[in-house]
Amino acid sequence: MHRNPALPATDVGPAPGQSLAWAREVLEVEARAIEAVRARLVEQEKAFQAALSLMRSCAGQIVVTGMGKAGFIAQKLSSVLASTGVRSLYLHPADAVHGDLGRVQPGDVVVALSNSGSSEELVRLLPSFERLAVPVIALTGQPASPLGRAASCVLDIGRVAEACPLGLVPTASTAALHALGDALALCLMRERDFSAESYGRLHPGGQLGRDVLRVAELMRTGDALPTVRHDAPLSEAVVIMTNTPGRPGAAVVVDPAGRLVGIFTDGDLRRRVQRGETDFGVPMGRVVGPAARIASPGEQVREAAERMRQTGVDQLPVVDADGILVGLLDVQDVLASRLS
């Protein structure tokens, strides 16, 4: 570790405003470390491309490892890779030498993070990686270290002055490792043409997943789809509206081929009764007009929900390219998905 002389080593309470100045200096030191890594990449282009090539052609999984503070950065890198569709796991070096090494198999690629390149627990794994014929990508500040010498390719962050006033706590060096790991992961993501929709698919529990949810994933189908033929009487439609699971409050009218004719809602029924139109034997084809608002299975639920909001409707029939009814998007399900 290299002490940053700009930061004091003292137990004396700071003068007014001094803490803010120290905080700004920490950020400046870490920013300089990342900028130095960015500049250094120009002369490491071949090594960077080699690392990307190993990761891109990996037939197994990318095993990310590191000890101590670098280990936490390694965990984050593994998480980023997994969230962008790359099979990855974090391997704790200490656990690896006590059996977890079995997680690593031929065909994998190891990405090892260590500023010193000499962490004892990590160095002990290197012969095992060699025996398994697993290539190692080293992210380190010491290319001549045991890790650097054993690696298939080395990405050097350089000798980094830590932001710690004692020069002991890994700070700027971990920031540099963090940024370099992100650069690898996101370049790999671009090369694989990984889309925002694909990213959302891997985050179904959060806003990202909801943002790319498709109508086909949320629409009501099967027994939950209240369908009635155009030649069926209004009385049958009322029974279907009442008895369909989930009580959608609407019946979708189709022709004999299953093409959408229209939709009849609870509101439509109330308005008919208010007008004195109480003939429940009238065919549905004479009751409904063409559906003015529909959804397609492939469109985003967010777009369909906005259309429902703007037009003040609670249901949208979902039809395919041939006009065949395939589902019903109900506002209750949209609300349950927390999209609006």
CATH number, domain with residue 287: 3.10.580.10
- Please check whether residues 130 and 234 belong to one and the same domain: no
Give 42-57 pLDDT, tens digit per residue. Answer: 999 999 999 999 999 9
Whole-prediction pTM: 0.67
- Please check whether residues 227 and 167 belong to one and the same domain: no
- Please check whether residues 225 and 117 belong to one and the same domain: no
> What is the C-alpha to C-alpha distance for residues 66 and 309, in angstroms, rounded to an integer?
50
Is 77 inside any structural domain?
A: yes
Read off the DSSP letter of residue 14: P
Q: How confident is the model at residue 12 (pLDDT cuts 50, 70, 90)?
A: low
- Please check whether residues 24 and 83 belong to one and the same domain: yes
Read off the DSSP letter of residue 205: T
Give 242-265 pLDDT, tens digit per residue. Answer: 899 988 889 999 999 999 999 999
Is 3 inside any structural domain?
A: no
pLDDT at 195 over 70: no
Is 11 inside any structural domain?
A: no
Residue in 124, 128, 123 with CA at minimum distance from that of residue 138: 123
- Please check whether residues 308 and 252 belong to one and the same domain: yes
Percent of the chain with pLDDT over 90: 71
Q: What residue numbers bound the domain in which 91 lies? A: 18-194
Is 189 inside any structural domain?
A: yes
Is 2 inside any structural domain?
A: no
Is 201 inside any structural domain?
A: no
Give 274-294 pLDDT, tens digit per residue. Answer: 999 989 999 999 999 887 789
- Please check whether residues 284 and 219 belong to one and the same domain: yes
Domain total in the chain: 2
Q: Could you tell me where the beta strands, DSSP code E, fall in 207-256? A: 227-229, 250-254
Least confident of 63-67, 256-260, 279-283, 332-336: 332-336
What CATH number should be reported for the domain holding residue 147?
3.40.50.10490
Give 103-144 pLDDT, tens digit per residue. Answer: 999 999 999 999 999 999 999 999 999 999 999 999 999 999
Give 204-246 pLDDT, tens digit per residue. Answer: 555 555 667 889 988 999 999 999 999 999 999 999 998 999 8
Is 199 inside any structural domain?
A: no
Which residues, at least 6 apart from 188, have a Cβ–Cβ distance to it below 8 Å? 52, 55, 56, 81, 84, 86
Structure tokens at 121: 């627990």
- Tell me what pLDDT residue 196 has: 63
- Tell me what pLDDT residue 340 has: 47
- The CA angle 231-296-202, to the nearest 5 degrees, is 140
Determine contact, residues 236/228, Cβ cutoff 8 Å: yes
Determine contact, residues 250/240, Cβ cutoff 8 Å: no
- Please check whether residues 169 and 273 belong to one and the same domain: no
- Please check whether residues 160 and 237 belong to one and the same domain: no
Give the mean pLDDT of 62-82. Answer: 96
Percent of the chain with pLDDT over 70: 90
- Please check whether residues 176 and 61 belong to one and the same domain: yes
pLDDT at 11 over 90: no
Picking from 163, 194, 225, the residue at the C-terminal end of a domain is: 194
- Please check whether residues 94 and 186 belong to one and the same domain: yes
Structure tokens at 157: 């962050």
- Please check whether residues 184 and 63 belong to one and the same domain: yes
Residue in 23, 29, 339, 11 with CA at minimum distance from that of residue 162: 29
> What is the C-alpha to C-alpha distance for residues 103 and 29, in angstroms, rounded to an integer?
37
Is 7 inside any structural domain?
A: no
Picking from 194, 225, 245, the residue at the C-terminal end of a domain is: 194
Phi/psi of residue 114, nearest 5 degrees: -165, 120
- Please check whether residues 40 and 180 belong to one and the same domain: yes
- Tell me what pLDDT residue 8 has: 56
